[in-house]
Amino acid sequence: MAFLAICWAVYRWLRRRIGYWAGILFLTGVSLPVFYSLYTALHPLDEFYKDKYEQITLHPFPASVRIINKDASYPSLPQGHYQACALIQVAPQEYRQLQQHLAHNSQFSPHSCVLDTGSEYYRSQSFEKVAGAIPCSRYAYGYAQKDSFQLLYIGLLNDGKSIVMYRFSI
């Protein structure tokens, strides 16, 4: 609220001292970064999903990644809970490297499909938008990590190049 009051005061001062267009330029200059920040909070950029990939897999982001579909919820207040899901494609050799990394890393537990009945991984709107239509039969491998704040899942599809990554706040 204070930010709006300050902007309004500066706008009025610029209009009186310099002119109408100075006030309009000021409001435009302030509005663009604010709207951009809101937009990227509601629709995260690819960099956000790159960070999620590295957080979920504990593996560097592959150079060949192509994001097919993505969705994330806006963090809730005051806890900051959110869900994020992306369907990506990588080169076959990077797919195999990731599968080997996940299979031999003790921090991951095998979890074939997030859609399994009785799964502790709750399906969210983000997951439904991105991967809800992918049946369990299409998952070749699945791995999960769980801590007290989040559930992390990575599912490797049986086409040898597609990966579903999913983060769910508890």
Decide which of 96 and 146 is more confident. 96
Decide which of 77 and 130 is more confident. 130
- Mean pLDDT score, 86-111: 92
**Residue tagged 């709006």 (tokens):** 4
Per-residue pLDDT, 161: 94
Would you say the pTM of this structure is higher than 0.85? no
Per-residue pLDDT, 66: 93
| DSSP codes, the chain | -HHHHHHHHHHHHHHHHT-HHHHHHHHHHHHHHHHHHHHHHHS--HHHHHHHHHHHHSSPPPTT-EEEEEEEPPPPTTT---EEEEEEE--HHHHHHHHHHHHT-TT-EE---TTSTT-SS---HHHHHHHTTS-GGGEEEEEEEE-SSEEEEEEEETTSSEEEEEEEE-
Would you state the structure tokens that stand for residue 89, as one six-digit string? 């494609």
- Portion of the chain with pLDDT greater than 70, in percent: 92
Query: How far apart are the C-alpha atoms of 158 and 155, rounded to whole Å?
Result: 10
- Mean pLDDT score, 15-20: 88
Q: How confident is the model at residue 155 (pLDDT cuts 50, 70, 90)?
A: very high
**Residue tagged 């690819």 (tokens):** 46
Per-residue pLDDT, 94: 94
Task: Kindly give the interhelix angle for 2-17 and 20-42, rounded to the nearest 10 degrees.
Answer: 150
Q: How confident is the model at residue 76 (pLDDT cuts 50, 70, 90)?
A: low
Per-residue pLDDT, 110: 87
**Residue tagged 């999960």 (tokens):** 144
- Mean pLDDT score, 139-168: 89
Q: How confident is the model at residue 118 (pLDDT cuts 50, 70, 90)?
A: low
pLDDT in tens, 42-63: 778 889 899 989 988 989 998 8
Rounded mean pLDDT of the chain?
85
